[in-house]
């Protein structure tokens, strides 16, 4: 009897690696899969399928894609013991596979179409259906003739194919509980009415007049909560949802002969008759597959919902506008519709009336002067409280981009940018004549500033210096109109000026090549994840990168600075040829400077999405860590012209800078361990 784990044992020294030593298999099943994200010398993903008491394994350097056209190399590796299903941690230097091993996905799987492993291995072809948090649906593994152990992995064409990056729903479900949401759940409702259609914490949706009802799909079975009826067109639309199980919230609407929502027409449709414009307008997603999404933020639930809807005429997505609902409300007034609903973007789904949802009646809005509906992107933005000037002034001569283009950019990304500016003192760096003209730095709000500006008195050198604080769109556009191209907020907020919200390591290359910045960023991410942190990455918008660690309350600037100094020293030790902590620029020998000194009171760092006063009009772009592996990654890829579409596609990748505060203490202990043992 051959021991299938002989190679696994042979490659490892179990006194030195934390990886599990195989015990005699207690269970022989066929249904667990796990994918490890393995940051070894080369980042790759290890797909492991339980079979016959071991985990059959493949290393996939380029990871998973839901596009069936992407055929990725998968290298068959040695069988791993069943205990590996739960293994994660750092494999120390010098050991086989040294680096960080994280569980990236895990769940059940089934063999399909070729139902026996023996036959599949003989044919060199395996089809599996994965039931994970990221990976879903059928995947295909085919052995190639090119090299020993070389296979191709790709997505089969099914409900889940083709629509998002590296996960089926496109949102992070790592800690989402598995639970069924009952169709009888009372829906969430607005509580209170308002008229403020201008708030970057909110999205604005049209209110639909019709039958408010949850709807569910469980395989081919579909149902509505508020009625036993199920018009055939609605049933077909629900069955077309791109998943097995979903519970949605929305409104069933039918139109009368005047083209407006009509209760009589709806009653007729539900009684089995026909109706015009019968559709279910879905605006929320409560359950996806076995996962209860109600504690996810509204914007995540809506992003997930959007990926499920194919272009079906009878089940439609209720889109929203973010941050500024004035134009939507104006359109609602003009169309004679009743109201808009304002929803707090971070709000979980809670049954019953809730202040996170507000109703904005058209009647209230009609009393106020309504600005004309805006055509975004073509015209410079319409001012509300601030007055634009010199919109035609060319700011980027080589590209011909004007100040009006810059204002249009900031307006279009305001709802993802503003949360990163809120409550922070802001320093201005003004370029009234564009990137090639004179510029000047300004902390203090000048006399004659408009009275509606929020100004915070900040103690500085024994005096109180009034600073700008950008909390809303008008203030943002006001400071941009003053000639700000990039933005310089503090790392801490008014009210807690001595407690930074994040620690930042600035990778500043000066003359060093960008590929060196990428290598150091990769090493920094690996190190920080290896000590239990969840760092974030963005380009600086110039030639460098910023690594962020959001902090829990209670850490001072001294803490964050000392921590990152230690991190920087570990990185310099690891990459001495390309990284330095030398402060004098002329003594850096063309190496990338790891700047941790910005973790200080009254220092600033450009926020994500900030434009930069450099050629190309590039912006600071939050990145997926995996994008470091893209061969064509350059900081100049992200500009005031390309960023809005990226934000539309991927959302705010930096939201976790605000939502995922982390504890430094356990990380410091682990970092000391790294410093001692390497
Ligand atoms: Mn591996």
Rounded (5°) CA angle 17-21-25: 155
The alpha carbon of 563 is separated from its chain's Cα centroid by a whole number of angstroms, namely 26
For 230-249, what is the mean pLDDT? Answer: 95
Domains, the chain: 6-155 (no CATH), 188-364 (3.30.470.30), 394-489 (no CATH), 502-677 (3.90.920.10)
464 pLDDT band, cuts 50/70/90, is confident
Tell me, in angstroms, the distance from the centre of ligand 1 to residue 150's CA: 15
Rounded (5°) CA angle 661-665-669: 135
Tell me, in angstroms, the distance from the centre of ligand 1 to residue 539's CA: 28
Q: Is the pLDDT of residue 379 over 50?
A: no
For 441-447, what is the mean pLDDT? Answer: 89
What average pLDDT is seen over the chain? Answer: 90
51 pLDDT band, cuts 50/70/90, is very high
As a whole number of angstroms, the distance between CA 59 and CA 78 comes to 10
Tell me, in angstroms, the distance from the centre of ligand 1 to residue 628's CA: 18
Tell me, in angstroms, the distance from the centre of ligand 1 to residue 39's CA: 8
Tell me, in angstroms, the distance from the centre of ligand 1 to residue 76's CA: 10
Tell me, in angstroms, the distance from the centre of ligand 1 to residue 533's CA: 21
As a whole number of angstroms, the distance between CA 407 and CA 562 comes to 38
Q: Is the pLDDT of residue 1 over 70?
A: no
Tell me, in angstroms, the distance from the centre of ligand 1 to residue 108's CA: 20
As a whole number of angstroms, the distance between CA 16 and CA 556 comes to 36
Q: Is the pLDDT of residue 381 over 90?
A: no
The alpha carbon of 519 is separated from its chain's Cα centroid by a whole number of angstroms, namely 23
User: What 3 state SS string does 598-651 have?
Assistant: CCCCCCECCCCCCECCCCCCEECCEECHHHHHCCCCCHHHCECCCHHHHHHHHC
Burial (0-12, 13-18, 19+ Cβ within 10 Å), 441 = exposed
Rounded (5°) CA angle 45-6-144: 45
Tell me, in angstroms, the distance from the centre of ligand 1 to residue 592's CA: 29
Query: How many C-beta atoms surround the C-beta of residue 312 within 10 A?
Result: 18
For 83-103, what is the mean pLDDT? Answer: 91
Tell me, in angstroms, the distance from the centre of ligand 1 to residue 60's CA: 8
Tell me, in angstroms, the distance from the centre of ligand 1 to residue 558's CA: 38
Angstrom distances, CA of residue 71 to CA of 362, 505, 551: 52, 36, 40
Please give the pLDDT value at position 27. 61
Tell me, in angstroms, the distance from the centre of ligand 1 to residue 215's CA: 42
Q: Is the pLDDT of residue 2 over 80?
A: no
Tell me, in angstroms, the distance from the centre of ligand 1 to residue 426's CA: 45
333 pLDDT band, cuts 50/70/90, is confident
Please give the pLDDT value at position 366. 59
- pLDDT tens by residue, 466-492: 999 999 999 999 999 999 999 999 999
Tell me, in angstroms, the distance from the centre of ligand 1 to residue 69's CA: 24
Q: Is the pLDDT of residue 359 over 70?
A: yes
367 pLDDT band, cuts 50/70/90, is low
Tell me, in angstroms, the distance from the centre of ligand 1 to residue 90's CA: 12
The alpha carbon of 232 is separated from its chain's Cα centroid by a whole number of angstroms, namely 36
Tell me, in angstroms, the distance from the centre of ligand 1 to residue 575's CA: 23
For 8-36, what is the mean pLDDT? Answer: 86
State the pairing for strand pair 276-288/315-317.
parallel
Tell me, in angstroms, the distance from the centre of ligand 1 to residue 100's CA: 10
Tell me, in angstroms, the distance from the centre of ligand 1 to residue 118's CA: 24
Q: Is the pLDDT of residue 265 over 60?
A: yes
The alpha carbon of 647 is separated from its chain's Cα centroid by a whole number of angstroms, namely 9
CA dihedral 519, 545, 297, 221 (to 10 degrees): -40
As a whole number of angstroms, the distance between CA 321 and CA 192 comes to 20
For 499-516, what is the mean pLDDT? Answer: 95
pTM for this entry: 0.61
Tell me, in angstroms, the distance from the centre of ligand 1 to residue 74's CA: 11
283 pLDDT band, cuts 50/70/90, is very high
Tell me, in angstroms, the distance from the centre of ligand 1 to residue 98's CA: 9
Q: Is the pLDDT of residue 162 over 80?
A: no
Please give the pLDDT value at position 3. 84
631 touches 548 (CB < 8 A): no
Please give the pLDDT value at position 495. 85
For 150-155, what is the mean pLDDT? Answer: 96
Tell me, in angstroms, the distance from the centre of ligand 1 to residue 40's CA: 7
- pLDDT tens by residue, 564-606: 999 999 999 999 999 999 988 889 999 999 999 999 999 999 9
Interacting residues of 544 by C-beta distance below 8 A, sequence separation 6+: 506, 507, 508, 509, 517, 592, 635
Lowest mean per-residue pLDDT among 33-37, 335-339, 532-536: 335-339
Please give the pLDDT value at position 25. 64
Tell me, in angstroms, the distance from the centre of ligand 1 to residue 165's CA: 22
**Alpha helices for 422-575 (secondary structure H):** 473-481, 514-530, 557-574
- pLDDT tens by residue, 169-202: 988 898 899 999 999 999 999 998 988 888 888 9
For the chain, what's the residue count? 678
Share of the chain above pLDDT 90, in %: 67
For 647-654, what is the mean pLDDT? Answer: 87
As a whole number of angstroms, the distance between CA 141 and CA 125 comes to 6
Q: Is the pLDDT of residue 256 over 90?
A: no
Tell me, in angstroms, the distance from the centre of ligand 1 to residue 1's CA: 27
């Amino acid at each position: 009897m051959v021991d299938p784990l002989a190679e696994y044992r042979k490659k490892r020294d179990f006194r030195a690696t934390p990886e599990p030593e195989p015990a005699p298999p207690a269970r022989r099943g066929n249904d667990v899969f796990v994918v490890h994200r393995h940051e070894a010398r080369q980042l790759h993903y290890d797909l492991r399928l339980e079979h016959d008491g071991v985990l059959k394994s493949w290393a996939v350097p380029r990871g998973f894609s839901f596009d069936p056209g992407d055929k990725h190399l998968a290298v068959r590796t040695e069988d791993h013991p069943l205990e590996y299903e739960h293994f994660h941690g750092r494999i120390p230097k010098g050991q086989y596979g040294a680096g960080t091993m994280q569980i990236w996905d895990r769940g059940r799987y089934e063999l399909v179409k070729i139902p026996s492993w023996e036959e599949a291995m003989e044919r060199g072809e395996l089809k599996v259906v994965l039931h994970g948090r990221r990976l879903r649906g059928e995947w295909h593994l085919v052995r190639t003739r090119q090299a020993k152990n070389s296979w191709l992995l790709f997505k089969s064409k099914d409900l889940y194919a083709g629509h998002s990056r590296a996960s089926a729903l496109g949102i992070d479900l790592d800690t989402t509980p598995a639970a069924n949401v009952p169709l009888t759940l009372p829906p969430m409702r607005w509580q209170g009415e308002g008229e403020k259609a201008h708030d970057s914490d909110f999205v604005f949706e049209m209110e639909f007049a019709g039958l408010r009802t949850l709807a569910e799909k469980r395989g081919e079975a579909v149902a509505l909560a508020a009625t036993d009826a199920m018009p055939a067109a609605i049933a077909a639309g629900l069955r077309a949802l791109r998943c097995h199980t979903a519970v949605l919230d929305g409104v069933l609407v039918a139109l009368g002969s005047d083209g407006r929502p009509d209760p009589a027409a709806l009653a007729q449709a539900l009684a089995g008759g026909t109706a015009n414009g019968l559709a279910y307008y879905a605006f929320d997603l409560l359950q996806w597959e076995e996962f209860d999404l109600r504690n996810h933020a509204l914007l995540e639930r809506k992003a997930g919902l959007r990926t499920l809807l194919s272009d079906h005429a009878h089940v439609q997505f209720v889109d929203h506008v973010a941050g500024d609902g004035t134009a939507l409300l104006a359109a609602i007034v003009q169309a004679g519709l009743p109201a808009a609903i304002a929803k707090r973007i971070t709000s979980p789904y809670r049954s019953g009336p809730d202040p996170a949802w507000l109703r904005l009646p058209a009647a209230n809005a009609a009393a106020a002067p309504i600005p004309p509906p805006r055509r975004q992107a073509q015209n410079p933005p319409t001012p509300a409280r601030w007055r634009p000037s010199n919109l035609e002034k060319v700011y980027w001569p080589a590209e011909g981009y004007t100040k009006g283009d810059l204002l249009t950019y900031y307006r279009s990304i305001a709802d993802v940018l503003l949360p990163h500016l809120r409550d922070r003192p802001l320093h201005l760096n003004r370029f009234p004549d564009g990137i090639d003209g004179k510029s000047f730095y300004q902390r203090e709000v000048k006399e004659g500033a408009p009275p509606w500006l929020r100004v915070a008195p900040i103690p500085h050198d024994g005096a109180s210096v009034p600073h700008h604080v950008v909390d809303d769109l008008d203030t943002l556009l006001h400071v941009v109109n003053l000639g700000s191209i990039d933005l310089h907020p503090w790392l801490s907020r008014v009210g807690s000026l001595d407690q930074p919200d994040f620690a930042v390591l600035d990778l500043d290359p000066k003359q060093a090549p960008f590929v060196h910045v990428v290598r150091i960023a990769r090493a920094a991410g690996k190190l920080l994840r290896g000590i239990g942190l969840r760092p974030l990455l963005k380009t600086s918008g110039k030639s460098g990168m910023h690594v962020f660690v959001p902090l829990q309350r209670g850490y001072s600037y001294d803490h964050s600075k000392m921590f990152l100094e230690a991190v920087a020293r570990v990185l310099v030790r690891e990459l001495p040829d390309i990284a330095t902590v030398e402060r004098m620029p002329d003594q850096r020998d063309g190496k990338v400077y790891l700047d941790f000194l910005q973790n200080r009171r009254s220092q600033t760092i450009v926020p994500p999405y900030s434009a930069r006063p450099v050629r190309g009009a590039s912006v600071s772009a939050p990145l997926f860590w995996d994008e470091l592996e893209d061969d064509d990654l350059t900081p100049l890829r992200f500009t005031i012209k390309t960023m809005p579409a990226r934000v539309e596609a991927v959302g705010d990748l930096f939201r976790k800078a605000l939502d995922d505060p982390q504890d430094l203490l356990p990380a410091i202990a682990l970092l000391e361990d790294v410093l001692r043992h390497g």
